[in-house]
Amino acid sequence: MATKSPSSSGSAAASAAKAASWLPLIVVVLTQIQASFAVNALTVSMQGITTDLNTPATSVGTAITAGTFSMAAFVLLGAKIGARYGTRKVFQIAVAIHATAMACVALSVSPAMLFIAQASSGAVIALVAPALTVFIATSYKDAQQAKAIGLLAAAIPAAGVLALLIAGWFATTIGWRYSFGIMVVLGAINLLLSFRLKSIPAQPNLKIDWTGALIAAASIIFLSFGFSGMASWGVWSATDQAPFAILGVSPAPLLILLGLLGAQIFFAWIRKRQGAKLPRIFDLRVLASSSELAITACMAIMLFVGTAANFLIPLYMQMVQGRSGIETSFSLIPYTLSIFLASTFVAYLYDKFAPSVIARMGFIVVAAALCLIAFTIKNDWGQLFVVLGLILLGLGQGAIVALVFNTLLSSVPKPLAGDVGAWRGLVHNLSGSVGIAVASAFAVAMLASQVSLGASQHPEISDQLISAVNISDTNFMTNAQLEASIKDRTSSPEELAAAVAVNAEARLHSLQISLLGLAGLALLAIVPAGRMPKRRQDGLPEQMEADDPDALALDELDLKA
């Protein structure tokens, strides 16, 4: 029997990679759209939901946050459950439950029902997110795998565009509930298509580290609520909105401290379990070297900057320009489309440039875009430069997010693909939530400072008005909202006009300072970007060193698959 030469084997492998069906990727992309569309649709449908359910807009925000927190808290556990009981089987159950949750959202008759349905959808997405990575890792190799990961990253902004177009249209015509009805249909389609995916063997002997899972979930919940509460509860001193206070200190920093302490306990626990060769909820070999840590740092910084900017720019459009929610949504389409395009086509740069070079250039583009927006936005808005800045921001952001995920996945053995998917989901949701929370708190603090400074420089604004308006509770308001709020407290039309002018300037300057701060953070990310690999590996290593029985079982199952 003739033996195949290494070159012929490599050629056969390359041919097999080219011949791999795109069906798994279609399922992956459609499922990512199913998961991401729901959150975007809730935001666009806010006005209809508040009217139908007779609830304030904050309830919709609470529902969105509930889904995000649930996903982040349980995503590490979701990876292990998928590995133990079979990735495809767990995926199918999760997709069916998510579709059911979307049906409950569509049929909601109360804010409580909406909240529970959205929290449930977030919890099952924790099962879906790692599975999507596993499907790509087991179905594609080399260049095809890089393109597949880029399309997975692009599915999130694609879902955003669809939500803006479809949910926005439904909300103003036939009703917001139909948007979530579409997600039920899409869930059914994904479930049917999933039966054509390759079945990945279950690992019934895999033991789940429930203690580690609980420590991780508690830490993430503390961090999420702590950062989210900074704007309303107070960064340090407790406000009237704070649920409790300890010696006048806001719950926000206390919860953040507990979350950070829990994170230290979690990693200490994982290191102990790994040293003793015992099962653990997360495999630290995903972060085995400084290169993987640098990749994670770049991912976290980009998601922090991107979601913070995605919060500040709509805030500018609505508070400074006075645009409606749907007008703001359509204004963001160029930004969302640019993320989609960059995520899709960045894979074509992998053969020409090292990941560290692409990441550095990406962060420079992001910083330049934020500076362009910050220096060109005005109260009367020069639209061309702002749109150009948004497009550049989206191109840099999309390229970096797809790159870091691809680089991290290609640097670890295939049996750890589920852990990479879980880590990606955790970093994505936590960094995004923290980015919005910190940007909100920082912008409001800058606004209060600018209002105080501006009032002191206008002698026509009386000390009585300054004392009557608590500047420390300042928040972003349109000119009309401010006039309605302080009109009865002003002594003359001149004083009212001066107060409105001060608010307009302070509002604009605080947003500009916040955007420049994000640009500075993007430039700082050039340092960890330089520690990313100097070349990208072609595909995932097939095996890993087995330091415990579970790892050995993973290798054996992978070879059988």
Would you list the DSSP string of 137-195? HHH--HHHHHHHHHHHHHHHHHHHHHIIIIIHHHHHTT-THHHHHHHHHHHHHHHHHHT
- Total domain count for the chain? 3
First to last CA, the chain: 26
Per-residue confidence band for 12, with pLDDT thresholds at 50, 70 and 90: very low
Tokens representing residue 300 in the block: 């976290």
Torsion on CA atoms 290, 296, 300, 303, rounded to nearest 10: 140
Per-residue confidence band for 168, with pLDDT thresholds at 50, 70 and 90: confident
Q: Does one domain contain both 386 and 428?
A: yes
Q: Does one domain contain both 364 and 442?
A: yes
How confident is the model at residue 381, as a pLDDT? 47
How confident is the model at residue 361, as a pLDDT? 96
pLDDT tens digits for range 265-290: 999 999 999 899 998 999 888 888 88
Alpha helices in 320-416 (DSSP H): 325-331, 333-345, 355-376, 383-410
Q: Does one domain contain both 67 and 100?
A: yes
As a whole number, the mean pLDDT across the chain is 81
Q: Does one domain contain both 338 and 200?
A: no
- Residue 86 forms part of a structural domain: yes
Q: Does one domain contain both 192 and 215?
A: no
Task: Give mean pLDDT, residues 428-436.
Answer: 82
According to DSSP, residue 352 is labeled T
How confident is the model at residue 520, as a pLDDT? 96
pLDDT at 3 exceeding the cut of 50: no
pLDDT at 526 exceeding the cut of 90: yes
For 71, the domain range is 21-206
How confident is the model at residue 495, as a pLDDT? 80
How confident is the model at residue 59, as a pLDDT? 62
How confident is the model at residue 255, as a pLDDT? 93
Per-residue confidence band for 61, with pLDDT thresholds at 50, 70 and 90: low
**Dist CA 137 CA 500 (whole Å):** 56
How confident is the model at residue 9, as a pLDDT? 47
pLDDT at 123 exceeding the cut of 90: no
pLDDT at 190 exceeding the cut of 90: yes
Task: Give mean pLDDT, residues 91-95.
Answer: 95
Contacts of the segment 324-332: beta carbons below 8 A, 24+ positions apart? 325/44, 325/46, 325/47, 326/44, 326/168, 326/171, 326/172, 329/44, 329/164, 329/168, 330/164, 330/168, 332/164, 332/390
CA-based nearest residue to 37, from 176, 134, 145: 176
**Dist CA 412 CA 398 (whole Å):** 22
How confident is the model at residue 233, as a pLDDT? 85
- Lowest average pLDDT, out of 40-49, 78-87, 302-311, 415-424, goes to 40-49
Q: Does one domain contain both 496 and 466?
A: yes
Q: Does one domain contain both 394 and 487?
A: yes
- Residue 494 forms part of a structural domain: yes
- Residue 176 forms part of a structural domain: yes
Which CATH number fits the domain that encloses residue 115? 1.20.1250.20
- Residue 14 forms part of a structural domain: no
pLDDT at 438 exceeding the cut of 70: yes
H or E element: which one contains 551?
A: helix 549-560
Query: Are residues 267 and 245 in contact, defined by beta-carbon separation less than 8 angstroms?
Result: no
**Dist CA 438 CA 62 (whole Å):** 17
**Dist CA 476 CA 507 (whole Å):** 7
Query: Are residues 368 and 526 in contact, defined by beta-carbon separation less than 8 angstroms?
Result: no
Between these two residues, 3 and 234, which has the higher pLDDT value? 234
**Dist CA 416 CA 187 (whole Å):** 27
Q: Does one domain contain both 312 and 402?
A: yes
Of these ranges, 3-7, 227-231, 399-403, the one predicted with the greatest mean pLDDT is 399-403
- Residue 550 forms part of a structural domain: no
pLDDT at 496 exceeding the cut of 50: yes
| Residue where a domain terminates, one of 180, 206, 232 | 206
Question: Percentage of residues in the chain with pLDDT exceeding 70?
Answer: 84
**Dist CA 514 CA 373 (whole Å):** 11
How confident is the model at residue 166, as a pLDDT? 83
By CB atoms closer than 10 A (0-12, 13-18, 19+), residue 445 is middle
By CB atoms closer than 10 A (0-12, 13-18, 19+), residue 267 is middle
**Dist CA 388 CA 19 (whole Å):** 39
**Dist CA 266 CA 257 (whole Å):** 14
How confident is the model at residue 376, as a pLDDT? 85
Residue 520 CB contacts under 8 Å (≥ 6 apart), including other chains: 367
Per-residue confidence band for 379, with pLDDT thresholds at 50, 70 and 90: low
pLDDT at 114 exceeding the cut of 80: yes
| Residue where a domain terminates, one of 206, 229, 244 | 206
According to DSSP, residue 286 is labeled G
One-character DSSP codes across 353-369? S-HHHHHHHHHHHHHHH
pLDDT at 450 exceeding the cut of 90: no
How confident is the model at residue 107, as a pLDDT? 93
How confident is the model at residue 551, as a pLDDT? 44
**Dist CA 527 CA 126 (whole Å):** 31
| Residue where a domain terminates, one of 178, 206, 234 | 206
- Residue 549 forms part of a structural domain: no
- Cα distances (Å, whole numbers) of residue 81 to 124, 130, 251, 300: 11, 10, 33, 25
Q: Does one domain contain both 201 and 312?
A: no
Of these ranges, 139-143, 212-216, 338-342, 381-385, the one predicted with the greatest mean pLDDT is 212-216
Between these two residues, 444 and 262, which has the higher pLDDT value? 262
- Residue 119 forms part of a structural domain: yes
Q: Does one domain contain both 111 and 215?
A: no
Per-residue confidence band for 557, with pLDDT thresholds at 50, 70 and 90: very low
- Residue 552 forms part of a structural domain: no
**Dist CA 542 CA 559 (whole Å):** 8
How confident is the model at residue 297, as a pLDDT? 94
Between these two residues, 116 and 311, which has the higher pLDDT value? 116
Q: Does one domain contain both 235 and 307?
A: no
Question: Percentage of residues in the chain with pLDDT exceeding 90?
Answer: 28
DSSP collapsed to 3 states, 193-262:
HHCCCCCCCCCCCCCCCHHHHHHHHHHHHHHHHHHHCHHHHCCCECCCCCCCCECCECHHHHHHHHHHHH
- Lowest average pLDDT, out of 247-251, 391-395, 456-460, goes to 456-460
Q: Does one domain contain both 142 and 228?
A: no
